[in-house]
A and B are shown apart, each in its own frame.
Chain A
Amino acid sequence: DQQVKQNSPSLSVQEGRISILNCDYTNSMFDYFLWYKKYPAEGPTFLISISSIKDKNEDGRFTVFLNKSAKHLSLHIVPSQPGDSAVYFCAASEVGTNAGKSTFGDGTTLTVKP
């Protein structure tokens, strides 16, 4: 049973437009949700996170929205840039038990076209 799901394996957007990456989870015990960016043959890089007590967190061009009742979160990138092209992983943590230990989705490959 996959606890974190990213149903879109890929997304293609035009430079300057908004990219919206979606993620669903099933475990109500998750209290932090994170997005990581990954380039081929490299480890993931932390992008942004949100606590379960919030519904929005913004950092520059990146905004994460959390809908706890729907067990759904999304990452908005605006404006999208070609350098944003990468695989984006949604992850969830139960911080109280093991800080830094996350359950990952399968990833969404974002392609931003110039």
Chain B
Amino acid sequence: GAVVSQHPSWVICKSGTSVKIECRSLDFQATTMFWYRQFPKQSLMLMATSNEGSKATYEQGVEKDKFLINHASLTLSTLTVTSAHPEDSSFYICSSPGQGAGGEAFFGQGTRLTVV
């Protein structure tokens, strides 16, 4: 199946700094990438949808200026958490739609962000 590679798998940063998370589609062209956030023992919450060559669409309540999404090519989408605070600590996951009619998606490995 299709592979989405997400890096880094974990990162620890200081409050006030920015962190960039990358998602690459390794064997297909990802025109769309979804970015999710998961709190412990909770569901995956969709943050935004990025489309190659256009502005990302953010879900209600997600700060655009804090979570910068760039989808400059068909194989790379990035999420930058700017001026990170401890409350931004979470598990961030990207996914790209599959080719099947069933609406399935291929997920990256996830990034565990800890802000200290």
Contact = CB atoms under 8 A, between A and B. Distances in A.
Interface string A17-55: 000000000000001101010000111111001110000
Interface size class of B (residues with CB under 8 A): 20 to 34
B103 A93 contact: yes
Contacts of B104: 34, 46, 49, 100
A69 interface: no
Nearest to A42: B109
A106 B43 contact: yes
B49 A101 contact: yes
B87 to A, nearest CB: 20
Contacts of B98: 46, 100
Interface stretch (B11-19, B67-75, B89-97): B89-97
A51 to B, nearest CB: 7
A4 to B, nearest CB: 8
Nearest to A34: B104
A93 B103 CA distance: 6
Given A98-B49, A100-B32, A101-B34, A42 B110 contact: yes
Given A31-B103, A100-B105, 9 more contacts: A34-B103, A41-B9, A42-B109, A44-B93, A46-B104, A95-B102, A95-B103, A100-B103, A104-B43
Contacts of A50: 102
A105 B44 CA distance: 8
Contacts of B1: 46
Interface residues of A, number: 29
Interface of B: 1, 4, 6, 9-10, 32, 34, 36, 41-46, 49, 91, 93, 95-98, 100-110, 112
Pairs of residues from A and B, 8 with the lowest C-beta to C-beta distance, nearest first? A100-B97, A43-B107, A93-B103, A49-B102, A100-B105, A32-B103, A46-B104, A104-B43
A43 B6 contact: yes
A85 interface: no
29 contacts: A4-B43, A32-B101, A32-B103, A34-B102, A42-B109, A43-B4, A43-B107, A43-B108, A44-B44, A46-B1, A46-B105, A89-B43, A95-B101, A95-B103, A98-B32, A100-B34, A100-B103, A100-B105, A101-B49, A101-B97, A101-B103, A101-B105, A102-B46, A102-B105, A104-B43, A105-B43, A106-B43, A107-B41, A107-B43
